[in-house]
């Protein structure tokens, strides 16, 4: 498997380019790192002027990290004059002001000026100085241009290989080979407004089941904000399919319809039957371990409770009437209650146990004594025709 960005199956770019001249480099490591930078950006000709640790150098090969062909073809010279003797255009790189009357250019400008000369068959040299003090005045004097970089004036010295990277990058970028090596994977086509609307409809329906849109008067604003969140990310068809799957997994679960909780409708009804038979339909005190009972019941509605609640929050006749579900009143947890109307709605399950029926009668008497109007509907009637139940409830609460 190729290393990070190194792939020997790819073509090694070899094209006419400037030669790189390193003057009296102190460390073999820096020669190797410079060779690696040259290989990155298509510079293949390296000339060395009196490297202080001698040549060849083992450390240079270690730091080259695979750019050995550049080191193996490098040539040695005793002086800079010898190294640039065949060059018609020389650029000296330096971070210091040498007070010489010659053009000062950037790395990008150097590439622009070098390109037509190289295309015409001329030899162009990029000269880099010593790590400690760069190029001497007389060495800069042998150049046609001075190349410098916009750097922090209080810390202008670059590592040798860093300087080669910057100059090499500007050359390669404009040489015709500087295109991006890869692109973002092709995205799925943009989602149509119809598909997006279908997703919003499903999402809002599920949020309705868990009473997300509260208080009712802010429902419209919340819906708009929610839609804007998804509109801003410009989803694709694949994005929407994934989001559909997320919503389905959260609402249905692995083992069947969870309805926003952990129980399906039958399990939720079994829970209510057990609570009623044991007198636990009373609201627990804050000191008991069951003080979260109302929330547990809200998160796990029966099918009848879900249908009736969906009808209440979507029927304009009940807008502003303050209906809530699974709310404690005194010692009892009621299925639905409107405190402004002082109206309680309870759903009676099929085949209710005798103990539960007696407990319901006690609850009805207790609420009636305190001025609450108690309305009871069979759960089976709600599941059969919720619209008829809503009509009856609307007429009774006008």
Q: Is 332 exposed, middle or buried (0-12, 13-18, 19+ CB in 10 A)?
A: buried
pLDDT at site 70: 93
pLDDT at site 329: 86
pLDDT at site 259: 46
- CA distance linking residue 301 with residue 263, whole number of Å: 8
Neighbours of 220 (CB within 10 A): 10
> Is 148 within 8 Å of 94 (Cβ atoms)?
yes
Tabulate helix, strand, coil % of the chain (nearest 5).
45, 15, 40
Kindly tell me the sign of the dihedral angle through the C-alpha atoms of 130, 135, 136, 138: positive
SS3 180: coil
The angle at the Cα of 270, spanning 286 to 312, to the nearest 5 degrees, equals 75
pLDDT at site 344: 92
pLDDT at site 36: 94
> Is 74 within 8 Å of 129 (Cβ atoms)?
no
Mention every residue, 6+ apart, whose C-beta is less than 8 A from residue 205: none
Task: Give the side-chain half-sphere CA count within 13 A for 211.
Answer: 18
pLDDT at site 282: 47
Going across the sheet that includes 19-23, the strands are 75-77, 46-49, 19-23, 124-128, 89-93, 145-147, 104-105
pLDDT at site 110: 95
Nearest 5°: phi and psi at 223?
Answer: -65, -45
Closest CA relative to residue 84, chosen from 135, 26, 28, 159: 135
Mention every residue, 6+ apart, whose C-beta is less than 8 A from residue 161: 30, 33, 34, 36, 37
pLDDT at site 81: 95
Residue ranges for the chain with pLDDT beneath 50: 1-3, 254-260, 280-290
Write down the H helix ranges in 233-353: 237-252, 265-277, 293-299, 303-314
pLDDT at site 99: 78
Model pTM score: 0.51
């Amino acid at each position: 498997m190729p290393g990070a960005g190194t792939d020997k199956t790819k073509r090694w770019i070899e094209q006419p380019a400037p030669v790189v001249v390193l003057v009296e480099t102190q460390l073999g490591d820096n020669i190797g790192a410079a060779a690696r930078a040259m290989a990155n950006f298509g510079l293949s000709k390296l000339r060395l002027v009196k490297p202080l640790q001698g040549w060849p150098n083992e450390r240079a090969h270690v730091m080259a990290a695979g750019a050995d062909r550049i080191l193996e073809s490098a040539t040695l010279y005793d002086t800079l004059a010898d190294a640039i003797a065949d060059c018609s255009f020389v650029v000296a790189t330096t971070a210091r002001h040498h007070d010489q009357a010659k053009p000062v250019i950037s790395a990008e400008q150097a590439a622009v000026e070098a390109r037509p000369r190289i295309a015409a068959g001329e030899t162009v040299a990029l000269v880099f100085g010593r790590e400690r003090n760069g190029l001497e005045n007389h060495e800069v004097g042998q150049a046609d241009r001075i190349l410098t970089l916009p750097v922090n004036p209080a810390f202008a010295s670059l590592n040798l290989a860093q300087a080669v990277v910057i100059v090499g990058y500007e050359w390669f970028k404009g040489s015709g080979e500087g295109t991006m090596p890869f692109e973002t994977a092709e995205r799925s086509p943009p989602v149509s407004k119809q598909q997006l609307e279908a997703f919003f409809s499903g999402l809002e329906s599920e949020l309705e089941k868990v009473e997300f849109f509260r208080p009712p008067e802010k429902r419209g604003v919340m819906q708009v904000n929610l839609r804007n969140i998804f509109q801003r990310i410009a989803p694709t068809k694949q994005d929407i399919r994934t989001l559909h799957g997320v919503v389905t997994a959260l609402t249905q679960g692995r083992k069947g319809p969870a309805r926003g909780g952990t129980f399906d409708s039958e399990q939720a009804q079994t829970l209510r039957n057990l609570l009623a038979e044991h007198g636990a339909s009373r609201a627990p005190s804050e000191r008991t371990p069951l003080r979260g009972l109302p929330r547990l019941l809200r998160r796990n509605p029966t099918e009848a409770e879900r249908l009736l609640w969906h009808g209440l929050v979507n029927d304009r006749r009940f807008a502003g009437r303050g209906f809530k579900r699974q709310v404690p009143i005194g010692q009892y947890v009621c299925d639905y209650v409107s405190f402004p109307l002082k109206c309680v709605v309870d759903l009676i399950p099929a085949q209710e146990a005798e103990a539960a029926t007696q407990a319901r009668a006690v609850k009805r008497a207790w609420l009636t004594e305190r001025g609450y109007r108690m309305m009871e509907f069979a759960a089976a009637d709600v599941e059969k025709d919720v619209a008829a139940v809503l009509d009856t409830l609307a007429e009774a609460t006008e």
